[in-house]
Structure 1
Amino acid sequence: MLKIWFMEVKVRKVSAFFVLLFMALSALGQEAEEKTSMELSQQVINPTTLAWQLQLEEFGIFKTNNAEGFAQNFRLRGIIPLEEGKLLPFPQLIRVIAFLNTAPGGPTGLGDIAINQFFILAKKDWGQFGAGWNLQIPTATSHELGSPQWQLGPAFTVTFTDLGNWQMYWIWQNFFSISHNSEYGNRNVTALQPNIFYTWSNGIYAGMEPLWQLDYETGKIAIPLNLRLGYVWAGKLKYNAYIEPEFMAYRSEGFPYNQNDFGIRLGFRWYLPLKPR
């Protein structure tokens, strides 16, 4: 009973924090120098938009499979846009991602660092297509907070933007371990992320972007589902804030990676679009 009461108190505190933060962000949005439009909102939400970005995201995990205690993943992601050049005639996005994690009932420390590079290979009226690579660097301060293996793999993205108020993006990433396989075994995982959003003209949007995983070695999968409610506005920069509850809809027995059963994400992002030449 004491554990249940303690968990309810934490949920109430986190919920109150989310409400207060969104009230503050809404007030800031009302003072924006540039009126938010549906077009602006969709540009900001689009993960392949060429813009300098700084993204902060806190994922509070209240229930973990076969583990007790509160856990969290704090993500810091910077995105560097590059226009097409003479050497590489494609626009591209470089994403650098770092984590500060807490294991359930365990330590807090650095997680792994990931680097993604996407090349926008084709732009069409319906959207665009891109491809690139992922690198995961084993910087975690504990094996409970990340993988001890270097991982490398290809990545692909398809975006559909000619859908009115709707937008759809598919991101497919692969991670293949390239170190310590004899010690820890092969880690060969693919992750498919469907991004589906509906945007209103006042800057509010709703949608989902779960990360579905498949272990190539065993064929086991994890299928979480989430619902994001967000708000986009513009001032000197472009801003995006959101709340996103997530639960595990299906996980194969013995799936070794994503053990999160329920959590809530809180995110805030800054955007500085590239100026046209």
Structure 2
Amino acid sequence: MKTIKITLFVFFLVSPMVLSGQENKSDSLKTEVSMDELNRQLENPLSRFWSLIFQENLAFNGGELVQGTEFSNVFNFQPSLPVPVGKSKMLLVRPVFPLVSAPRFNEQGEKTGMETGLGDINVFSLYGPDKKDGLIWGVGMTFTFPTATSNYLGSGKTQLGPALMALSITKKWTLGTIVQHWNSVGGDVNRSDVTKTDIQYIARKQIPGKGMSIGMGPNIGIDWNAPSGNKLTLPIGLGITKTVKWGNTPMKLRFEPQYSIVKPDNYGTLWNVRIQIAPIVQNPFLKK
């Protein structure tokens, strides 16, 4: 509950500033791009628009090392900020600031309390073509910094690695994947080294005339250093995405429950409920 209250506070603190600062700019954005087209273009991280993404992830967890079902929560603020490079390329820089709530356990698997605070901050970057549709690619780097306020909420390690994207965007479908991989390169010597891969696979069908799509975009997690039976988390999902107007500001909304058909035996996420709210703002580096 504490995390949810902070989540709502951050969102309602930022959203009035977005609305007031974007009144004239978003008028231009609304007239030039339909909600259908905007909904479709925003599937591309290298879109020409900026979006201030607020993402809530409520997880239902379990496994052999704990008793019953435990809840955890990750609220991410991840502004997506692509900028033009030359005449035909875009560079995305997307920091991810996580607010995490996670349970603490003793050696018997009994819950001893909850820990809430800042998690490890990630910075994700991509470089690729400035395209609205067709086959779109991107290459870049991903970085994770040990900013967590508790050992329960982060790895304690500085991490970096490659990032890749391949998407096919048409008027009917968005299909593709975004891959990030991290290796630890520094940090607390008393914490375990990190070798992890995240694979987001995307399959969404556009609903014409509704500014809407139906489909999924869950994240497969692979912890290469975990023991056998605990390396892979493989979720599937089905959700709805809709682009609407709030005042003068377009907003992209998403609701997507996800179920892990494979999860770590010891402790992992069985269900995850993802809720996303993303105000869309004019890119200051591009002409209206």
Decide: shared fold, TM above 0.5: yes
Specify every segment of 5 or more residues in structure 1 that has no aligned partner in the other structure, as ranges: 1-9, 11-31
Task: Tell me, yes or no, if structure 1 residue 187 matches structure 2 residue 186.
Answer: no
> How far, CA to CA, are the matches of 1:144 and 1:44 in structure 2?
34
Matching residue's letter, 2:82: P
C-alpha deviation, 1:227, in angstroms: 1.7
Task: Tell me, yes or no, if structure 1 residue 212 matches structure 2 residue 212.
Answer: no
TM score, norm. by length of structure 1: 0.77
Match of 2:278 in 1: 269
User: Any idea what SS the aligned residue of 1:186 has?
Assistant: coil
| CA-to-aligned-CA distance 1:35-88 (integer Å, 9 cap, x gap) | 8443222012333312221011111223343445432111111122211149xx
Match of 1:238 in 2: 250
Task: Tell me, yes or no, if structure 1 residue 139 matches structure 2 residue 147.
Answer: yes
Task: Tell me, yes or no, if structure 1 residue 97 matches structure 2 residue 96.
Answer: yes
> How far, CA to CA, are the matches of 1:186 and 1:121 in structure 2?
35
User: Any idea what SS the aligned residue of 1:47 has?
Assistant: coil
C-alpha deviation, 1:186, in angstroms: 2.4
> How far, CA to CA, are the matches of 1:75 and 1:124 in structure 2?
26
| CA-to-aligned-CA distance 1:204-243 (integer Å, 9 cap, x gap) | 2111111112233457321012222121124633211121
Specify every segment of 5 or more residues in structure 2 that has no aligned partner in the other structure, as ranges: 2-26, 104-112
Matching residue's letter, 1:103: A
User: Any idea what SS the aligned residue of 1:179 has?
Assistant: strand
> How far, CA to CA, are the matches of 1:109 and 1:215 in structure 2?
23
Q: Give aligned pairs, total.
A: 241
Match of 2:82 in 1: 81
C-alpha deviation, 1:194, in angstroms: 0.6
C-alpha deviation, 1:126, in angstroms: 2.5
Matching residue's letter, 1:267: Q
> How far, CA to CA, are the matches of 1:242 and 1:56 in structure 2?
10
Q: Work out the percentage of aligned pairs sharing the same amino acid.
A: 26
C-alpha deviation, 1:172, in angstroms: 0.7
Q: Contact 1:121–1:131 (CA<8 Å) still a contact in 2?
A: no
C-alpha deviation, 1:132, in angstroms: 0.4
Which range is displaced more, 169-178 or 53-62?
53-62
Matching residue's letter, 2:92: L
1:229–1:124: structure 2 CA closer, same or farther, 3 Å change rule?
A: closer
Matching residue's letter, 1:90: K
Q: Contact 1:99–1:112 (CA<8 Å) still a contact in 2?
A: yes
1:103–1:55: structure 2 CA closer, same or farther, 3 Å change rule?
A: same
Match of 1:118 in 2: 126
1:206–1:97: structure 2 CA closer, same or farther, 3 Å change rule?
A: same
Matching residue's letter, 2:51: Q
User: Any idea what SS the aligned residue of 1:253 has?
Assistant: coil
Q: Contact 1:241–1:267 (CA<8 Å) still a contact in 2?
A: yes
Over aligned residues, Cα RMSD in angstroms? Answer: 2.7
Match of 1:200 in 2: 207
Q: Contact 1:155–1:172 (CA<8 Å) still a contact in 2?
A: yes
C-alpha deviation, 1:123, in angstroms: 5.2
> How far, CA to CA, are the matches of 2:44 and 2:133 in structure 1?
15
Q: Contact 2:53–2:79 (CA<8 Å) still a contact in 1?
A: yes
User: Any idea what SS the aligned residue of 2:155 has?
Assistant: coil
Task: Tell me, yes or no, if structure 1 residue 63 matches structure 2 residue 70.
Answer: no
Q: Contact 2:176–2:201 (CA<8 Å) still a contact in 1?
A: yes
C-alpha deviation, 1:110, in angstroms: 0.8
TM score, norm. by length of structure 2: 0.75
User: Any idea what SS the aligned residue of 2:85 has?
Assistant: coil
Match of 1:247 in 2: 259
Q: Contact 1:44–1:232 (CA<8 Å) still a contact in 2?
A: no
> How far, CA to CA, are the matches of 2:278 and 2:131 in structure 1?
25
> How far, CA to CA, are the matches of 1:79 and 1:249 in structure 2?
30
